Chains A and B, each alone.
Chain A
Amino acid sequence: MELDLIGDQELLRDTATRFMDASCPLDVVRQLNTTDTGLPANYMQDAAELGWFSLLVPAEDGGGSVSGDGLRDAAILAEERGRRLQPGPFVPMNVVASALATRGSADQKAKVLPAIMNGEALATVAAADGAGAWPPGAGLSASSAGDRFILSGCAGLAQDAALADWFLVAARSPAGQRQFLVPSSTPGVSLARRGAHDITQRFASVDFEGVELDADAVVGHPGGTADDLERQLQLALVLSVAETVGAIEALFDMTRRYAIDRIAFGRPIGSFQAVKHQLADMSLSVEAGISISAAATRAVQAGQDDAGEIASMAKAWVGDTGIDIAQGCFQVFGGIGYTWEHDLHLFLRRITMNSLLYGQPDWHRERICELHGL
């Protein structure tokens, strides 16, 4: 959590947490994998009313942030969502909204963007390759046919693809990378549901088989798409890291309380140095994660020239240490953590999934070297 929230940010956070606690507490989250949509009824629309999908959109396009720093506001929400393992495409919706606000055509901004901001339309990012790996757009290719485009390939790990009305896709083309906003109902688009490690979120692979697109599906300009994708990746990284940090904080605090409450050998187990020192080390990682997450949020918000690198460092660090923390918490809970009824596995699943999403730590480390010209 950022330390110096202004009053309006506190209000945003408090309103959001009340909504989440009322509509989707953890006992609801753990039931979602048996439902059709994986979301409580009206969840996205209600969230939209609270402004969740407008924060990265300028006021002149109908959006607005409470502090003037939309990404910082969104990161506050992401962290609170992470604490509560909230479902739904919060990160992709914000990435798409930002992309359309900055690069969308007049038509996309007039018709699609408002529907995303008010939660009537769901949009998601389909940018990973078929195996779910980055860089964006590696799995799809676009060829032009007159003023139309033909899209082929597979995009993996598209969050809530089954609910999406729109896909923001990235594809390779002879003219370089291109982006398209594709209606999910377009002929040739099909979904393959897959088994899921993380039962608190839904992902699907999206197949594109000779999908024909009009020129009005294009987002951005041919020469600018690489920069657009970089910006979108940075936004996704900041929000995904903030969400993971929230999950880590909540899981660690649960574990800390357990170490105080749980009695063995006549003492709270947290009094044993073997346990206490594990918790101290984990809490160091929690604090470091909070610190690097805040640094990444500020860097990307400010558009610093090293923002991409800082965002990747945040993702690599929190991706690795998050798993260490989740595994360490598992060890402190002992056998009870291996039961379905306990919440630990829900956090373990989310934290591990998020470590993979938007690039694994190793991928980001290689990217850091490349960004330094090595």
Chain B
Amino acid sequence: MMDQAATGSSPSDRSNPGAVPDLDGYRRQVRAWLAGHCERRNGPPEPHEIDYYTPEVMATNRALQRVLFEGGYAGITWPKEYGGQGLPAEYEIAFLDEASDYVLPDFGVLTGTTFHVCVPTMIAHGQPEFLEEFVPRVLAGEALVCQFFSEPSSGSDLAGARTRATKDGDQWVINGQKIWSTYAHLSDWGFCLARSNWDVPKHRGLTWFAVPSKSPGLTIRPIRQINETSEFCEDYFDDVVVPDRNRIGDVDHGWTVTQTMLVSERGAGRPLGSSEGVRPGPIAPDLVQLARRSGALGDAVVRQKLARAHTIDFVGRALAARIAELGRLGRLDAGVAAYGKLFLGTYNPIRARLGVEIGGAQAMSWEPSDEQGADASMAYLNSRIMSIAGGTNEMQRNGIGERALGLPREPSFDTNKPFTEVLRDARDWTGTS
């Protein structure tokens, strides 16, 4: 999901703009360029620890992003007027295919939030004079964008945002608090949802802004998580001023922007891999190590658990491949895309629990040198991330139920009255109006 899709390529030759090469020629061009400018990977990419990403690691990847940008292989499908290459999606797919053995820029979660979620949405709804300056900087690796979406009092209920945006001449003043903003402390910008009108129903008084992370009055604090790292932040907006040109979309019509973003976030518009060739590989290597260490590999119950974990791993990948294939065939909607997330949200906790069960005492109390026990414990603590972050399982179930299955919505009591009244009445709500 955090692939390098949007950092891709474009028919590089900046001195010869306008000519769209044929796809085979483009591939040859990409191949030659990669060989001359990028480094080959040693084996498949391995997932990094959550605390792997530091300002130094980001700097290295920013430099690599600039290499792509200068070579003409950043923003392959993004508009030319904003520094992209303006090519059809198959060129980006071709680039990623050719580049699959090379080291590409990796900003962790910020790769996805920047290149797949926030900036494509900004391009769709932002003001040209802002985008002309901003987007090329994104493509050059100078502007990583985090999400100022959730708030302490509105997580899943995104439209219930209470961060306040007040117009003041040709600028806006933002006050409030955001939370769960992944890697905000490593970002350059944030995409911020704020309430610009409190006297209309909640979906009709929202406005989006692009906010520099270093803005005066904006305090970003990493949150210490149960796994003892700090991936998420909390962000305090205290009279943060942004010019009106940073406004993304029309005033009070932020929900339209949100719709664009949710589709983008769930995978539409992203180049998707092939569904062929999904192979199971070795059986749950982490859990086999645990079982081997405790001498339980011959235990019938443990063996059932190993095969269960392995099957979960492979079915998840087969499902992701099917969703990718639906995307390739143009049959993906947000409801169907939600299956991938709900699968992980449902089965990651089950798999992690299998690990703790197989590990037994080792996963609860380990020798300092025993990485497997510590890993099983950590995986268990981290296993509900996908069940909650980016929309809880319950939100995915609503989305699937209503969009994929055609089931009617629950009645809501907050969509038609002014937001100030919603806030006033909520505590005394009795279920009747």
On A, residues with C-beta under 8 Å from B are 3-4, 256, 259-260, 267-268, 270-273, 276-277, 279-281, 283-284, 287-288, 290-292, 294-295, 298, 304, 306, 309-310, 313, 316-317, 362, 364-366, 368-369, 372, 374
Contacts and interface: CB of A to CB of B under 8 A. Distances in A.
22 contacts: A3-B325, A260-B406, A270-B408, A271-B409, A273-B394, A273-B397, A276-B397, A281-B397, A284-B346, A287-B322, A290-B322, A291-B315, A292-B315, A295-B321, A313-B311, A313-B315, A317-B315, A368-B310, A369-B306, A372-B282, A372-B283, A374-B297
A316 B311 CA distance: 8
Contacts of A374: 283, 288, 297, 303, 306
B431 to A, nearest CB: 12
Contacts of B308: 365
Contacts of A279: 401, 405, 407
Contacts of B208: none
Nearest to B322: A291
Nearest to A310: B280
Contact of B342 (A272, A276, A284, A310): A284
A356 B361 CA distance: 35
Given A277-B394, A287-B339, A290-B322, 16 more contacts: A3-B329, A3-B331, A260-B406, A260-B407, A271-B407, A277-B397, A281-B342, A281-B346, A284-B342, A291-B321, A292-B319, A294-B318, A294-B322, A365-B304, A366-B304, A372-B310
Nearest to A256: B405
B307 to A, nearest CB: 4
B19 to A, nearest CB: 33
Contacts of B102: none
A366 B318 CA distance: 21
A46 to B, nearest CB: 33
B410 interface: yes
B329 A4 contact: yes
Question: Per DSSP, are chain A's interface residues mostly helix, strand or loop, or mixed?
Answer: helix
A260 to B, nearest CB: 6
A152 to B, nearest CB: 30
A288 B319 contact: yes
B33 interface: no
Interface string B311-327: 10011101101100110
A210 B110 CA distance: 72
Nearest to A368: B307
B279 interface: yes
A304 B276 CA distance: 12
B278 interface: yes
Nearest to B311: A313
Closest 7 CB pairs of A and B: A365-B307, A280-B397, A270-B407, A276-B401, A271-B408, A291-B318, A291-B322
Interface of B: 276, 278-280, 282-283, 288, 297, 300, 303-304, 306-308, 310-311, 314-316, 318-319, 321-322, 325-326, 329, 331, 336, 339, 342-343, 346, 394, 396-398, 400-402, 404-411
A3 B324 CA distance: 11
A290 B339 CA distance: 13
Nearest to B310: A368
Contacts of A277: 394, 397-398, 401
A64 to B, nearest CB: 25
Q: Which of B315, B316, B326 has the most CB of A within 10 A?
A: B315
A324 to B, nearest CB: 12
A292 B320 CA distance: 11
Contacts of B319: 287-288, 291-292
Contacts of B397: 273, 276-277, 280-281
Nearest to A252: B405
Contact of B303 (A272, A288, A304, A366): A366
B329 A283 contact: no
Nearest to B404: A283
Contacts of A256: 405-407
Nearest to A369: B303
Contacts of B342: 280-281, 284
Contacts of A268: 407-408
B310 A313 contact: yes
Contacts of A273: 394, 397-398, 401, 410
Given A259-B407, A260-B406, A288-B315, A365 B325 contact: no
Contact of A368 (B283, B321, B396, B409): B283
Nearest to B298: A374
B242 to A, nearest CB: 38
A365 B314 CA distance: 13
A369 B311 contact: no
Given A281-B346, A288-B319, A374-B288, A309 B280 contact: yes
A368 B306 CA distance: 9
A243 B411 CA distance: 38
Contacts of B407: 256, 259-260, 268, 270-271, 276, 279
Contact of A362 (B304, B318, B409): B304
Q: Which of B310, B318, B398, B409 has the most CB of A within 10 A?
A: B318
Nearest to B281: A306
A313 B280 contact: yes
Contacts of B311: 313, 316-317, 365, 368
